[in-house]
Chain A
């Protein structure tokens, strides 16, 4: 285990430069560059805001930041799932040439997605500040452990999705459908008061995604540090997923090369 982590560390320049290349390539020859990854959640939020404002008379001051926070978190989870399922195929040529720790390929996926996530989170904070003022800037520090938990979760999801798609070609398509279901079963676009008292609320209370959404939203929206119960549940989920991913990786580490 220790040896494994030190092997990953030894190759840090390799996977780090792959992440850089991924980020640069995505926007090569584009005018806006990284701006596109900022524009996408903003544009989506504006559309949904306009709809909900007209149909349900939602107050944009509350709903706007609520939406951007939710989307930034969700887009990260969706990205690591979809791109994670391709992570080993993406590294195929390296895997075939040199012995490398397999964990670095999902890591590459997660770190690139994390950059977009952090940018979106920055926008969410700025939007919240502009629209309603930050009630308590100190609460923002509680985002640090939350982001760390999300990154760890992202690595676990990417690893599991990647290993699954090695054996089962349909993983990526399955993930696309699954993500769509989870998206609508999570409190991402529904205004909180709209869900209250309906069947939706019951779904939300058992939805693990909701926990991570609160971790991001509460400090930015309400200026409160999420409760210990929320953190506890998040830690439990992340620990379980990470343990699963590590166990699966330990089983498959030496076999990945034969599945490519």
Chain B
């Protein structure tokens, strides 16, 4: 039974310095005591408690830097909670930053193979899927060309074809609804709908409220690393849009 249980989860990490330390800085800093900015502590999530059961379709909304991506990465197991506990039952499939993580010098074909292995396939299980992935990407003879020479759209198509060739119990999605040109987008949307339909649990992040409304029955509004509201999709979204309609636009938000 797929299930996500988060109990008082917090993630804190230190950014030593804005950039990595160099020897010169270490040297200079040891002489100039007052000028030491020290490590910056970032509290990405604070005491998040959630319970997501089988069948739920959950949308996560909030401003940039509210902790949406951190929470999704925590569910995926990429981030480990600093405090509290995380329990996720069932196989996890994550769709975020899918266009990254290609070996640029390897061909499309090679990239399909090892990305699939990363997702837990073996040569035996990949074999029947390989042609589906290849034809879904519509790359044809470009599959034998190094990914370095692909256009951005081609990379996205390949990434989408590979990443969606899984049937996870728990599906985690971070803004992957726009892939490729108009024709491919229609196909991609259909694929997403199928995946969302088949998965036991879906958690998605989107800034597009229509997408959230279309797929989700429950919405979590994150603000400043905490759960601000958690409830039926329409209620939370209405409250969210109303809140920002009255609020004057804030200065440029910090990084997501």
Contacts and interface: CB of A to CB of B under 8 A. Distances in A.
A11 interface: yes
Interface in A145-173: 167-170
Contacts of B78: 95-99, 257
Interface residues of B, number: 33
A255 B13 contact: yes
A36 interface: no
Contacts of A94: 101, 118
Nearest to B24: A170
A13 interface: yes
A240 interface: no
A93 B97 contact: yes
B22 A18 contact: no
B20 to A, nearest CB: 4
Contacts of A169: 20-22
A94 B94 CA distance: 12
A126 to B, nearest CB: 31
Contact of A170 (B22, B101, B103): B22
Interface string B66-85: 00000001001111100000
B99 to A, nearest CB: 10
A259 B105 CA distance: 26
B230 interface: no
Given A97-B100, A170-B22, A14 B117 contact: yes
Contact of B101 (A10, A93, A99): A93
Interface stretch (B119-127, B179-187, B232-240, B242-250): B119-127
Contact of B105 (A25, A93, A100): A25
A36 to B, nearest CB: 16
B177 interface: no
Nearest to A12: B117
Contacts of B122: 13
Given A96-B97, A97-B96, A168-B20, A21 B106 contact: yes
Given A93-B97, A98-B76, A14 B23 contact: no
A61 interface: no
A182 to B, nearest CB: 20
B65 to A, nearest CB: 16
Interface string B94-118: 1011101111011000100110011
B103 A254 contact: no
Contacts of B228: none
Contacts of B79: 257
B94 A14 contact: no
Contacts of B123: 13
B105 A14 contact: no
B191 to A, nearest CB: 19
Interface of B: 13-14, 16, 20-23, 73, 76-80, 94, 96-98, 100-103, 105-106, 110, 113-114, 117-123
Top-3 shortest CB links A-B: A93-B101, A99-B77, A169-B20
